[in-house]
Structure 1
Amino acid sequence: MRPLLPASSGCFAVITSRSRLAGLGTREGAARVTLDILSPEEAVELLGQVIGPARVAAEPDAAFQMADLCGHLPLALRVVAEHAASRPALSLNGLLEELRDERHRLDALADREDELSDVRTVFSWSYRALDPELRRTFRLLGLHPAPEFGIGAAAALTGTGERGTARRLRELTSAHLLQEPKDGRFRLHDLLRAYALECTSAEDTQHSRIRAVRQMLGWYLHATDRGRKVILPHSHEVPLVPAAQLSLPVFLDAAQAMGWFEQERQNLVAAMRQAYELGQYDIAWKLPVTADGFFELGSHWPEWKEVHQLGLEAAQALGDALGEASNLFCLGDAAWRGGGYEEALENYHRTLDIARILGDTWLEGFTLRGLGLIHEEQNDFSEANALFVKALEVFRDGGWRRGEGMALLSLSRSARAAGDIEQAITLGQQATRIFEALPDEWSTAWTALSLGPALRQRGRAAEAETCLRRAVDTFARFTDRQSEAMAWEALAEVFEEARNRTDAQRSWVRAAQLYELLRHDKSAELYERAARLASPPED
């Protein structure tokens, strides 16, 4: 290459490559210009240049989806466009269907008559230039169930240490086979992932591929369980799979653990689906259970239900009673939160039957409490109170201190509903002391939602405000928007009763904003309450 470079200052050369060609910059003073992918609009324009703008204008949605499936890569777009141009009778939607099946996407992009148009060939130029270890890393990355991943998951997948994995990932980025959209997070383009899958299917044994996937799924399971222990340390614990030599994240506090979950949420859902599809049923039922609190606190309702349905089916496929009961219980919670009381009751009763056979007092106690909560919301306070008392007995017999605190808190609400405010405060304070002693920050904050209104009703507004403000701060750190909104509501009631219109209005607005984020129809009502307080009081 170098002898062909112009020696005169009046000439210049443009060199294109999928590699960085760092030597040219160092020795020849070349200026590197990194070209990004096309924008969606530019990609569709390129399609129109080849197949004709009228054809694109006739099916604009299909054109944009096709551009997206091609990753807005000019070469892939050109190949697809030529393919479409050669088949004028085929609609763009028809071609789109051919592209959608990921396993055959590269086949649809291949032009048999022109080898240079075959995307496989272009990718192989970069792939074959790698050393064997880098080629292996690239191949195995194709087994990751989602496009973006971190170093820890990649290290588990490849069975290597994090430091060496990070180095290899960045070498693959330099070879333009990976992207690093932000520090420590890597993205494998869909087309490259399809190519990597073909390579690993051709070059790696089925045993090695399954082992790699299981190591990665195990990493997600253990990392999630570490986060669970930080956020809800006394939540349901299930036996995990062996951790092997996994390098796991360290979470210093709940905010860090919730931040990790939000970053990895799509990967966790994809990992659960992959575990189920590949018959890794033990991980497929354990991962939803360990991640349960993340989905609930984060208010990810549709995903919450979906992953536990997968977990239930996986446990049933194994004949694992603990897995079945654990996921049924979580499905009961999800249905209760969504207002599906009949579905929740059915799931809770099925859980209760299995829990009693297993002798699992944690599941039994929390299921009894769940049944009580439904009866409470249906204004059947007598039955609800009886179920809370039973739950309290089971928790005390089993030595489950957090369960005992939650049962006392439920009894506190029952007492308040019956008009016995002093008993409601006493029981709420007992629950608070248990949670503080454990310690369990989130559960301590949760007591304020019952204790705060009871204190307000008893004329102890300053105490109510203090505990509710603490709850607001805690729920915000845990990114539990629904509980934070409920705490702001209760705080607004305290301010309004004290005729503090300014703080009451701000609290109603904050609660409404949070409900709006959750797409809860309650937000409109609270905005109205805030608006009424913004108006001057009538004489």
Structure 2
Amino acid sequence: ALPPLPARLLALLGLHPGPDVTALVVAAMAQVRVGDAQRALDALTAANLLSVNEPGRYGAHDLVRVYMRTLAAELPAAGRHEATGRMLDYYLHCADLADGRLPVTRGSSVRVAPEHVPVEVPKLTGSAEAIAWLDAEQGNIIAAAELAAAPGSDPKWLVHAWQLPYTLSRFLWMRADRATWLRTTEAALEAATTLGDPEARFVMLFNLGIALAQFQRMDESLARHREALEVARASGDVNAQARALTTVADMLQFLGRVDESEASYREALEVSRAAGSRWAEANAHHNLGLLHLASRRYDEAKAWLRAAVTMYREVGEQCGESTCHTDLAMVLLESGEGAEAVTSARTALSVASAAASPYHQAMAHDRLATVFDRQGLPGAVAHWQRALALFTELGAPESDQVRARLARARATTSV
């Protein structure tokens, strides 16, 4: 027979919806010290009830999972509810901590305040550790959100059902995991709507609009962003209005409605300044720069983009700064400033590397290759190879375009 604590934890593990566990989440569920949870997990492993998937992470075979769920069903209802709530709170608190360490500025200021803050949490001192933790826990976070939204769950867990995907959204964007992002955001919007929380509904409408755009579903994206703008105006949130006006303008520009797009960008800029949101102001400058690039007004485009770079740097938005340098490199290339274009593209790559964002690194490599190729300089093939490798690893649709550019370059040069 198992000792008391391992036996108790085996039953509690039947409540956990994800693929694996750590001593930290088990300690939170059982309200025991992490060291005690660790020793109990090791005892269950020694009894061949758990297996070590990788150091510090424990899983179970399907038959054992069925057995654990049977044991969990025999626990008192109050105990099941308490342990499940603490598990949801653990993932929400830790995912929020990790999200706050990412090199992507939070456009919204959602208050994440779980009822039970775990006593012991993973050490997440920087972006690299945060990304590694989110990589490892992504499946558990999504499973926890789905459990929170499931029929029959405590209605107060609807907050977890939308906030867990919210805390994961920037990570999924950085990883270019578009399918997962879209699926989790749609579920989160449903939870936010059921909850009747205007702030939650705005955030998830906004995120859904961005996710839809990644699939080139621009008309649907525009509709979601306009819904978000209506919610923001109804609540009087000027910062949210600025964000929604910017993304409405983005979609209008893509759809070729340039005059409407510019008007929306300029309104976003005015609202951003009124709200005192430097991030939103940077975003508006960036997008006005792109609008001027598209209309070949290069001097104006450079001015807007350079201002945006400065603002992104001020607020620590490394991914935005990298993207802006990538766009500025194209403006400089088009205006005949080849050396400056190389410098800007290299800066984009440096900033993306510092941000530990493979997607933005791939974008910078692609732009560097274009800058080299257009000027007949060596190195284009190597940068397109690197961009293709990164985009392919991420499963990003940009890989097809880069593959075609690489093939053309290889046909004309051996460099």
**Normalization by structure 2: what TM-score?**
0.92
Letter of the 2:390 partner, please give it: L
Judged with a 3 Å threshold, the aligned counterparts in structure 2 of structure 1 residues 419 and 233 are, in CA distance, closer, same or farther, namely: closer
Quick check: 2:105–2:315 contact (8 Å CA) kept in 1? Answer: no
Higher radius of gyration, 1 or 2: 1
Change (3 A) 1:386 1:135: same
The answer on 1:242 being equivalent to 2:121 is no
Task: Identify the range of structure 1 (473-482 vs 446-455) with the bigger mean alpha-carbon deviation.
Answer: 473-482
C-alpha separation between the residues in 1 aligned to 2:371 and 2:259? 28
**Cα separation, 2, equivalents of 1:184 and 1:533:** 46
Equivalent pairs counted in the alignment come to 408
| CA deviation vs aligned residue, 1:264-291 (integer Å, no higher than 9, x gap) | 1111111110111124211111111121
- Residue 332 of structure 2: which of 455, 460, 469 is its match? 455
How large is the RMSD of aligned CA atoms in angstroms? 2.1
3-state DSSP of counterpart to 2:111: coil
For residues 404 and 250 of structure 1, the distance between their equivalents in structure 2, rounded to whole angstroms, comes to: 33
TM-score normalised by L of structure 1: 0.72
SS at match of 1:148: coil
Deviation (angstroms), 1:436 = 1.4
Q: Deviations over 1:150-188 (max 9, x none)?
A: 222222222222222212211221222211122111112
Return closer, same or farther for 1:178/1:316 CA change in 2, 3 Å cut-off: same
Q: Would you say 1:208 and 2:79 are equivalent positions?
A: yes
Q: Contact 1:315–1:324 (CA<8 Å) still a contact in 2?
A: yes
Deviation at 1:408, TM superposition (A): 0.5
1:327/1:523 Cα in 2 relative to 1: closer, same or farther (>3 Å)? closer
Equivalence for 2:179: 302
CA-CA distance at 1:334 after TM superposition: 0.7
**3-state SS in 2 of match to 1:149:** coil
Alignment equivalent of 1:254, drawn from 85, 102, 127: 127
Structure 1 unaligned residues grouped into runs of 5+: 1-128
CA deviation digits over 1:100-141, x for unaligned, max 9? xxxxxxxxxxxxxxxxxxxxxxxxxxxxx1222221111101
Tell me, in whole angstroms, the C-alpha distance in 2 between the residues paired with 1:292 and 1:524. 25
Give the AA of the match of 1:215.
Answer: R
Change (3 A) 1:183 1:526: closer
The letter of the residue matching 1:411 is L
Aligned to 1:140: 12
**CA–CA distance in 1 between the matches of 2:396 and 2:158?**
35
Q: Residue 70 of structure 2 is aligned with which of 165, 183, 198?
A: 198
Work out the CA distance in 1 between the residues paired with 2:394 and 2:72: 42
Note if contact 1:269-1:303 (Cα within 8 Å) is conserved in structure 2.
no
Query: What residue in structure 2 maps to residue 162 of structure 1?
Result: 34
**1:534 match:** 410
Matches within 5 A, 1:71-86: none
Trace 1:94-493 onto structure 2 (pairs within 5 A). 129-202=1-74, 204-231=75-102, 232-240=104-112, 241-277=114-150, 278-279=153-154, 280-476=157-353, 478=355, 480-493=357-370
CA–CA distance in structure 2, aligned partners of residues 335 and 474 of structure 1 = 27
Q: Distance in 2 between matches of 1:349 and 1:535?
A: 46
Cα shift at 1:225: 1.1
CA contact (8 A) 1:258 1:478 kept: no
Letter in 2 for 1:195: Y
Once the two structures are TM-superposed, the CA of residue 438 in structure 1 deviates from its matched residue by: 1.9
- The residue type paired with residue 139 of structure 2 is Q
Partner of 1:516: 392
Tell me the secondary structure at the aligned position of residue 181 of structure 1: strand
The AA in structure 1 aligned to 2:332 is L
For the residue of structure 1 that corresponds to 2:379, the secondary structure is: helix
CA distance in 2, matches of 1:532, 1:446: 25
Higher relative contact order by CA 8 Å / sep ≥ 6: 1 or 2? 2
Quote the offset at 1:351 in angstroms: 1.1
Distance 1:317 1:525 in 2: 40
**Residue range with higher mean Cα deviation, 324-333 or 245-254:** 245-254
> What SS is found at the alignment partner of 2:21?
strand
Give the % identical residues.
28
